[in-house]
């Protein structure tokens, strides 16, 4: 339920109302917009108390939130969420570009890649230290040594780091090195992990599960947001369909749909969405044209040496060309890069 507060309301009356909300067993979330203060009343069956809230003099209106997700909904917050990560604005008019290898392998490859994506204009460097692999026999990631190498790559390039955390037991260590915590597709509904990253104050990039509806995905984001962490980037990375000529199917529909239903930023990851090197660039451009707030692209200087996802890694020269093309499409839709 959203309580819109009258503009002349006194602080002591707002405090009394928030106490009442707590007494009834709900959690108040206060949001101070440019013009109005609104209070989100979050809990189960809160709509039953509409009359109680409306009986307060300072309450202009009490409107139930129809969607099952509340705080991340546009109903709760009209303006786009924009936040700063290491000097880079996320969710604003300027797009963000995250690039780097699927997984961290040698220092030499990592640093070559970091320098290349930096000089092409990327804003964040990515690389996996803990890898979610379908087979237990596949490379699982170099763990902490990879995190240390990522931190060194940050020192060399100045690019903030995005890296995946797969389990509640890894949150502390990943948080120590990363600038953005990635929650991967396979963990989109790992509710304990979502609660744990909701407690951190590092931004979270939440990938859509390959079989999750937009509603389920936004409910997953709600777990993080309701824990107090409001810096969330959604990432469309393709869903599973009957089609097998590509690895997954990039759900471009999801971009305008998600932007309609939530105030959170959304980026696209055509590398996993398509999974075939030659088809990634057009889908990155399509994502930007559809209104995404950024893209994530896997890049590797020597894809044959990559320990995961080499077949979908762009060579630095291809990434460089893609960045220029993204600039043109961005300009066509009134954005910058």
Residues 264-283 that bind ligand PEP (CB under 6 A): 272
Q: Are 174 and 183 in contact (CB under 8 A)?
A: no
HEC sequence for 54-74? HCCCCEEEEECCCCCCCCCEC
Rounded CA separation 275/252 (Å): 15
179 binds, among Mn ion, ligand PEP, none (CB under 5 to 8 A by kind): none
309 binds Mn ion (CB under 5 A): yes
Min separation Cβ 207 and ligand PEP, Å: 4
CA-CA-CA-CA dihedral for 159, 234, 298, 140, to nearest 10: 100
Tell the residue number behind the tokens 């990363």, with chain if given: 178
Among Mn ion, ligand PEP, none, residue 291 binds (CB under 5-8 Å by kind): none
* Residue 196 token pair: 């744990």
Q: Candidates 29, 142, 207, 230: give the one binding ligand PEP (CB under 6 A).
A: 207
In the region spanning residues 82 to 111, those forming contacts with Mn ion, defined by CB under 5 A, are: 102
Residue nearest to ligand PEP (CB): 184
Secondary structure of residue 266 in the 3-state scheme = strand
Q: Return the residue of 91, 141, 160, 184 that touches ligand PEP, per CB under 6 A.
A: 184
Count of residues that interact with Mn ion, criterion CB under 5 A: 2
C-beta atoms surrounding 88 within 10 Å: 19
- Which of ligand PEP, Mn ion, none is residue 237 near (CB under 5 to 8 Å by kind)? ligand PEP
CA dihedral 262, 172, 307, 325 (to 10 degrees): 30
* Residue 70 interacting with ligand PEP (CB under 6 A): no
Q: Which is nearer to ligand PEP, 27 or 212 (CB)?
A: 212
Q: How far apart are CA 140 and CA 138, in angstroms?
A: 6
| Residue 313 in the binding site for Mn ion (CB under 5 A) | no
The residue from 40, 91, 100, 128 that contacts ligand PEP (CB under 6 A) is 128
Plot region of 289 (φ>0 → left; ψ -120 to 50 → alpha; else → beta): alpha
Nearest to ligand PEP of 126, 335 (CB atom): 126
- The site for ligand PEP (CB under 6 A) is made up of 102, 128, 132, 184-186, 207, 237, 272
- The site for Mn ion (CB under 5 A) is made up of 102, 309
């Amino acid at each position: 339920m959203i309580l819109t507060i009258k503009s002349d309301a006194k602080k002591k009356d707002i405090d009394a109302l928030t106490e009442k909300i707590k007494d009834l067993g709900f959690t108040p979330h206060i949001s101070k917009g440019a013009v109005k203060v609104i209070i989100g009343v979050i809990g189960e069956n809160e709509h039953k108390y509409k009359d109680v809230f409306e009986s307060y003099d300072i309450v202009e209106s009490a409107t139930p939130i129809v969607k099952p997700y509340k705080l991340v909904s546009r109903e709760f917050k009209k303006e786009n969420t924009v936040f700063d990560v290491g000097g880079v604005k996320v969710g604003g008019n300027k797009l963000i570009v995250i690039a780097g290898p699927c997984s961290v392998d040698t220092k030499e490859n990592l640093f070559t890649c970091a320098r290349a994506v930096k000089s092409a204009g990327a804003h964040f460097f990515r690389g996996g230290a803990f890898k979610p692999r379908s087979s237990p026999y596949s490379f699982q990631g170099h763990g902490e040594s990879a995190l240390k190498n990522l931190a060194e790559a940050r020192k060399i390039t100045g690019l903030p780091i995005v890296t995946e955390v797969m389990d509640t037991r890894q949150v502390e260590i990943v948080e120590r090195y990363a600038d953005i915590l990635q929650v991967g597709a396979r963990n989109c509904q790992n509710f304990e992990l979502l609660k744990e990253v909701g407690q951190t104050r590092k931004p979270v990039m939440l990938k859509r599960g390959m079989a999750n509806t937009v509603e389920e995905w936004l409910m997953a984001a709600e777990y993080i947001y309701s824990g107090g962490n409001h810096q969330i980037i959604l990432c469309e990375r393709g869903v599973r369909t009957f089609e097998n000529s590509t690895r997954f199917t990039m759900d471009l529909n999801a971009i305008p749909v998600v932007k309609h239903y939530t105030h959170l930023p959304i980026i696209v990851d055509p590398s996993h969405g398509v999974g075939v090197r030659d088809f990634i660039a057009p889908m990155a451009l399509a994502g930007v044209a559809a209104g995404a707030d950024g893209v994530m692209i896997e890049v590797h200087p020597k894809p044959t040496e990559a320990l995961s996802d080499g077949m979908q890694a762009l060579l630095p020269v291809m990434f460089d060309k893609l960045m220029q093309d993204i600039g043109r499409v961005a300009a066509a839709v009134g954005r910058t890069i």
